[in-house]
Amino acid sequence: MLNIILFGPPGSGKGTQSANIIEKYGLKHLSTGDLLREEISNETALGLDAKRYMDNGQLVPDAVVIGMIDSKLQQHPDAKGFIFDGFPRTTEQAVALDELLQGKGSRIAALISLEVPEEELKRRLLDRGQVSGRSDDNEEVINKRIIEYKNKTAAVADYYAAKGVHHPLKGNGSISETFQLIGNVMDAL
């Protein structure tokens, strides 16, 4: 199994590049943001609870997202590998993910980190807000999401750096330039 974390702050291009990666490498895409938005549109209890955090730019509690990833891993026992997008977002989630993968005799092969300057992130997210319909793509919530990233999520890169699998990349070129850089890492694995 080949398991990759596509990492970076909100607006760094994780969703866009995940689509490119699954097309070229045939991995199963697991985005906790997409899974949570699906729960919200289905008006489940989990979705209604998660929405309060998401609309406020805060992370949803670890147990909720870990439980979602656990059940998705179980639903796809024959996957060639997974591309984790927007997960793990805390060190606790990273530890839980490692345990889940260990149970399958597997591990994270690489954390690919898309590095984009903050001003560019804000510009991209505001632009996306014009078309996405996402309730968290407005200036106030964007600022809160970036703070949440710095306070809780950035440490996940250090956690995987200590395991020797952190690959930081310049993420503010064009979509195809960034995909080329990701491909270089993927092809070397």
Q: Which residues bind ligand AMP (CB under 6 A)?
A: 10, 32-33, 36, 53-54, 58-60, 65, 86-87, 89, 93, 136, 145
Whose tokens are 């070229």? That residue is 24
| Nearer of residues 138 and 188 to ligand AMP, judged by Cβ | 138
- Nearest-approach distance from CB 136 to ligand AMP, in angstroms: 6
- Nearest-approach distance from CB 81 to ligand AMP, in angstroms: 19
Closest CA to 71 of 102, 21, 35: 35
- Nearest-approach distance from CB 187 to ligand AMP, in angstroms: 26
Output the CA angle 70-89-47, nearest 5 degrees.
60
Q: Which two tokens stand for residue 117?
A: 């300057």
| Nearer of residues 27 and 59 to ligand AMP, judged by Cβ | 59
| Nearer of residues 23 and 38 to ligand AMP, judged by Cβ | 38
- Nearest-approach distance from CB 145 to ligand AMP, in angstroms: 5
Number of residue whose CB is nearest ligand AMP = 33
| Nearer of residues 10 and 182 to ligand AMP, judged by Cβ | 10
- Nearest-approach distance from CB 124 to ligand AMP, in angstroms: 12
3-state secondary structure of 29: strand
- Nearest-approach distance from CB 51 to ligand AMP, in angstroms: 9
Gyration radius of the chain's alpha carbons: 16
| Nearer of residues 145 and 166 to ligand AMP, judged by Cβ | 145
| Nearer of residues 1 and 40 to ligand AMP, judged by Cβ | 40
> Is the distance from CB of 158 to CB of 91 less than 8 angstroms?
no
3-state SS string over 30-87?
EEHHHHHHHHHHCCCHHHHHHHHHHCCCCCCCHHHHHHHHHHHHHHCCCCCCEEEECC
Burial of 20 (0-12, 13-18, 19+ CB in 10 A): middle
